Amino acid sequence: MIVSCLGIGIGAGARIAIGEAYLLCHGPVCVTPSWIPPEAVDAEIARFENAVEQASKQLQAIRDQIPPDTPGEISEFIDSHLLMIEDKALSSGVISLIRQRYASAEWALQQHCNALVEVFEQMHDAYLRTRRDDLIHVAQRIQKVLLEQHDSEPEELQGQIVLAEDLSPADVILLHNQRVAGFVTEHGGPMSHTAILARSLGIPAVVGAQGAGQVLRHGELLILDTDHGCVLAKCDQAVVDHFQDRREYDFRRTALLRQSVREPACTRDGHHVQLLANIELASDVQSAVENGADGIGLYRTEFLFMNRADLPDEQEHYETYCDVIRGLPDRPIVIRTLDLGADKPLAGTRDGGGCGNPALGLRAIRLCLKEVELFKPQLRAILRASVLGDVRIMLPMLTNLWEVQQTRALLRRCMQELDAEGESYNPKIPLGGMIEVPAAALAAPVFAQALDFLSIGTNDLIQYTLAIDRVDNEVNYLYDPFHPAVLQLIKGVIDAGRKAGVPVSMCGELAGDPRFIPLLLGLGLGSLSMQPAALLEARQLIRELDARTLRAKTADFMAHLYTADPLTLLGHWDH
């Protein structure tokens, strides 16, 4: 048996793909420094603006190819690139370089793009940091128009696995239309739009497989195992047969899971678990509904603030929240307030002069309480929208009790203003907090007394506890959800909520990971919020478990936390 496994990629989309490799030449556009004479400035600016217009038309044409019955979030990926192309922050910087330095349009665009990429790379939030890829995709599309380069797309790719250095969301949609079996990219991460879109479309993909193009050959048979983020090549027939069986099993299982999408998530002994969805856009609600979400456990509102030179006003906040609430009537909607700042000063806010460590700087609730005029429109809009459904407010990155107290005081002030204006709202709107800082986890008993609910954000909690960045390839091997300190903090928050009679949920990546769900239930967690695509598998798993057995096994595991083997625990859950 000969099996070659790259083993360094990150899985996305469906689990298994088998097909012949097709090397797609989508390398970066090479731009060399070049300048123009002063008298050619106006003509060069016109050439750049025409290229922007042509690139925009190309994306609009791709968006028009999306079938009308496709979920709305698919077209949102193209729309985000269209917004970026039309953003004055992109074009004005390029035009300034053409006017002031007599740079050619290509060189000015490259310089300005490089400067913006540096800003994105300094961001703390892993999701926002990967937006640099979108900027690069947009800039490269404009560059190809300027340089009169055209990608020669093959006419037929059905059933093949595409290999490329990188793919934009537009590329992914075109490949989906050609019914590819899957794709492998050398660049990208789990939160890149390419990976997210692959999951949304159900395309098996391995992203971030560095060096794949150097070791894989055009036309050879490949197997993608996205569960483990690896690519297999030079496999004998027994291995191919094994993965074909796995792929067919996955198809049958998904079809069966969809049949029980309306069934409650109850363990065999009758313990009900609330399954909620994490969303970023109002259009994500459709996917949450289709996968049987009991509500929204985390609505990230940062997209309202991105790719624009101004701040969203209260009415824009209000209308966006109303769209989400109407999509899930009579179900809880947890709206997380703005979680940006420090590494990227927002338009209309004061620049604090930068921060040596953005992860520990002025961001999230800290920024909102300092920039009250940024915070108030969002709070007022949430309050106004609260009359439409079960709306709840969640504060990110809490560290101190006074942050809750100041927010409650600001909420009272907003309510007084709305009263004077004759606006309706829910005066008892629940206020909760994300427990994602170790200090907040240790102080969970205090926060449980001051808040209406708690939600554990494991992504940051693990990173802050272990002092590592999980998207840093040099240290991400230390990202260990089973570290005793992490598990003790999670257990402490759950116990504090139970003692205070306050609901506790989890909205980090662990909440949707089937490997960890039994342990979380055993710790007493009764509410999980995850990506919509993970809901089907989570529901079925919960229905196969016995809560009493889980509690006993978990209690024994926690009693021997520093000597127990987590892998042994994972292999002995009672289904």
- Per-residue pLDDT at 569: 60
d(CA 469, CA 343): 15
User: Domain 4-26+154-256: what homologous superfamily?
Assistant: Phosphohistidine domain (3.50.30.10)
Average pLDDT per block of 10 residues along the chain, 575 residues long = 51 83 74 90 94 91 75 70 82 92 92 84 64 83 84 71 86 86 85 74 86 85 88 92 91 83 92 93 84 94 73 93 93 94 50 57 90 95 98 97 97 98 97 97 98 95 87 72 94 98 93 91 96 89 94 91 70 53
Helix 41-64 and helix 169-177: axis angle, to 10°? 40
d(CA 523, CA 505): 12
Nearest to 397 by CA among 426, 437, 361: 437
Q: What is the DSSP letter of 35?
A: B
Nearest to 53 by CA among 135, 121, 145, 120: 145
- Per-residue pLDDT at 351: 47
301 in Cβ contact with 335 (< 8 Å): yes
Over the stretch 545-562, which tens digit does the pLDDT of each residue have? 999 999 999 998 898 888
Strands (E), 450-551: 453-456, 504-506, 527-530
- Per-residue pLDDT at 153: 55
d(CA 494, CA 527): 11
| DSSP line for 386-425 | GGGS-EEEEESS---HHHHHHHHHHHHHHHHHHHHHT---
168 in Cβ contact with 146 (< 8 Å): no
Residues in the chain: 575
Catalytic residues: 193, 507
- Per-residue pLDDT at 270: 94
365 in Cβ contact with 329 (< 8 Å): no
The model's pTM: 0.71
Reading the block at residue 132, the tokens are 């640099």
- Per-residue pLDDT at 306: 66
b/e for 411-444, b at 16 or more Cβ within 10 A? Answer: beebbeebeeeeeebbeebbbbbbbbbbebbebb
Strands (E), 295-346: 296-300, 333-336
- Per-residue pLDDT at 119: 77
| Helices vs strands, H then E, count in the chain | 23, 16
Separation in Å, CA 561 to CA 152, 488, 521, 555:
57, 9, 17, 10
CB atoms within 10 A of CB 30: 9
CATH class given for the domain over 268-570 = alpha beta
292 in Cβ contact with 539 (< 8 Å): yes
* Fold adopted by 38-146: Enzyme I; Chain A, domain 2 (1.10.274)
Question: Going edge to edge, which strands form the sheet with 205-207?
Answer: 4-5, 230-233, 221-225, 16-23, 161-164, 182-185, 205-207, 10-12
Q: Where are the domains positioned within the chain?
A: 4-26+154-256, 38-146, 268-570
23, β-bridge pairs: 163
d(CA 187, CA 167): 9
- Per-residue pLDDT at 72: 57
Nearest to 536 by CA among 244, 262, 139, 312: 262
- Per-residue pLDDT at 342: 45
| DSSP line for 9-23 | SEEESSSEEEEEEEE
